[in-house]
Amino acid sequence: MASPHYLPPLRQVAVCGGTHGNEMSGVYLAKHWLRDPSELQRSTFHATVFMSNPRAVEKCVRYIGRDLNRMFTADILNSKGSDADVYEVQRAQEINQIFGPKGSCQAYDFMFDLHNTTANMGSCLIVKSEHSLLPMHMCSYIQKHYTVSPCPIFVYLLPGEESNGVALELGPQPQGVVRADLLAQMRSIVACGLDFIELFNKGTLFPAFEIEAYKLVGRMDYPRYPDGEISAVIHPNLQDKDFQPLKPGDPIFQTLSGDDILYEGDDITYPVFINEAAYYEKKCAFIMTEKHTSSQPALQREL
């Protein structure tokens, strides 16, 4: 048997809600945990709760000036120009200071980032890369131990972004609305992830495994009139079919005169974030993924 990959223990864990101020499971959980964080604590690490974008939360909007999700690049974190007037740019710089510039000794070791989507994503786990060994082991642990609903993994690599953790993306939930069922799911999945960290810190050997994940391969915009207005809506056959195979020739949009628009790709794709409300302005009707199985080596805390 190959020897396990050794990683240092995780001592500082952050749990963030309200990165988008109208995604309410994370907002309500973070508000609750800011009052009483006891359920997040374990014996081997310290968990800190954090409201990422408090002004957006106060106004119940996704963001004030710009999407905080896209702010954690070296360029923006170091920007001092006109960008620096945007609230989310200031906030990203503050967060980077609080959580410690990556590599510094006060840096947090792991972050849970809590999101909701209007798409039918279920209990989706988002990791930056299949090569993020500890997050992939955590996802596998959650898939095994949290059995209320499936937890598909979406691999979403944005070049230049700093990320060391797992994001939860639960849906469908309308923006500005909190549903008790999704809130409970999110709470249980965070607890499961924290249990994994505790076991890892205590020296548990996590064996090698193979795991399936959905990797981003592209984005599909809505059909548009020459003036840029959207000319068709998500096809009823595609609505809510996140993570299900979409074949060449399947309908994806329907015009208001009732014509179907078909998927013209060459290969089967697995659409996700279908009809996500926040993505209309990003010119994205859904994200296309491919299903990919990767082999993960065994993992253990370094001694």
Instruction: Pick the stretch among 112-120, 134-142, 156-164, 194-202 that binds Zn ion (CB under 5 A).
Output: 112-120
Angle between helices 180-201 and 24-35 (to 10 degrees): 60
Which runs of E-coded beta strand occur in 35-121? Answer: 46-51, 110-116
CA dihedral 58, 61, 65, 68 (to 10 degrees): 90
User: Considering the complex, what minimum distance in angstroms separates the CB of residue 23 from Zn ion?
Assistant: 5
Structural contact between residues 191 and 272, judged by C-beta atoms closer than 8 angstroms: no
Q: Is 215 in the site for Zn ion (CB under 5 A)?
A: no
Nearer to Zn ion, 92 or 246 (CB): 92
Of the residues 15, 20, 68, 71, which one makes contact with Zn ion according to CB under 5 A: 20
Q: Are 208 and 50 a contacting pair, CB within 8 Å?
A: no
Q: Which stretch binds Zn ion (CB under 5 A): 25-33, 48-56, 113-121, 258-266?
A: 113-121
d(CA 1, CA 298): 10
Interacting span for Zn ion (CB under 5 A) from 16-24, 38-46, 80-88, 212-220: 16-24
In whole angstroms, the minimum distance from the beta carbon of 67 to Zn ion comes to 9
Min CB(98)–Zn ion separation in Å: 20
Minimum distance of Zn ion from residue 145's CB (angstroms): 25
- Is 88 a binding residue for Zn ion by CB under 5 A? The answer is no
- Tokens representing 196 are 């994994």
Q: Is 115 in the site for Zn ion (CB under 5 A)?
A: yes
For Zn ion, the closer of residues 68 and 232 by Cβ is 68
When CB distances to Zn ion are compared, the closest residue is 115
Site size toward Zn ion, by CB under 5 A: 3
Nearer to Zn ion, 173 or 289 (CB): 173
Edge-to-edge strands, sheet with 122-127: 46-51, 12-17, 110-116, 165-171, 122-127, 153-155, 209-220, 286-296, 270-272
Cα–Cα distance, 139 to 124 (Å, whole number): 10
77: which DSSP letter?
A: H
Nearer to Zn ion, 115 or 241 (CB): 115
Q: How many CB atoms lie within 10 A of CB 249?
A: 9
Binding site for Zn ion (CB under 5 A): 20, 23, 115
